[in-house]
Structure 1
Amino acid sequence: MMCPKCGKEMRNGYLFSSKDGAFSFANEVPSALENAKNTEEFVKLTGLKVGGRTSVEACCCDACRTIMIQY
């Protein structure tokens, strides 16, 4: 895949979390005491995976340090 930012070739791989974390996206990072689901524009990207790492397929551009994922 070609990088949409710089046009160079991207390499395929995986974006992964800590051992029991999950990926989410929002307009801001909630504090540790807040329920993340209540954050404005919250999008759950992956669920928790207890006992293993959560991962999603991704492409990485080493030239401009861009990562592309599809959830």
Structure 2
Amino acid sequence: MKCPECGKEMRNGYLFCSKDGAFSFANEVPGVFTDAKKADGFVKITEVKPSHRTNIAASICENCKTVILKY
């Protein structure tokens, strides 16, 4: 997929919330007993926020089902 902002190829993967509450991205979602930091293609998106709901600013197009965020 080409990035709508720069036109470069985007990497497909998964945005997920780890058991410590931080958002991360990886090529595959790690299992519940796997250290998320060891997942192939791991990128930390947010810091751990104990007792807080993790959030990140994003934009969505409900027409084409695209979500874009910056970390």
What TM-score bracket applies, with the shorter chain setting the length? 0.5 to 0.7
TM-score when normalising by structure 2: 0.67
TM-score when normalising by structure 1: 0.67
Structure with higher strand content = 1
Q: Whose Rg is larger?
A: 1
- The amino acid that maps onto 2:63 is A
Give identity over the alignment, percent: 48
Residues in 2 aligned to 1:60 and 1:40: alpha-carbon distance in whole angstroms: 26
| Relative contact order higher in (CA < 8 Å, ≥ 6 apart) | 1
- The amino acid that maps onto 2:38 is N
Residues in 2 aligned to 1:65 and 1:49: alpha-carbon distance in whole angstroms: 28
Structure 1: 4+ residue segments shifted above 3 A = none
For structure 2, the residue ranges without an aligned partner over 5 or more in a row are 5-16
Residues in 2 aligned to 1:52 and 1:30: alpha-carbon distance in whole angstroms: 22
Residues in 2 aligned to 1:30 and 1:57: alpha-carbon distance in whole angstroms: 24
Shift of 1:51: 1.5
- Superposition RMSD in Å: 1.5
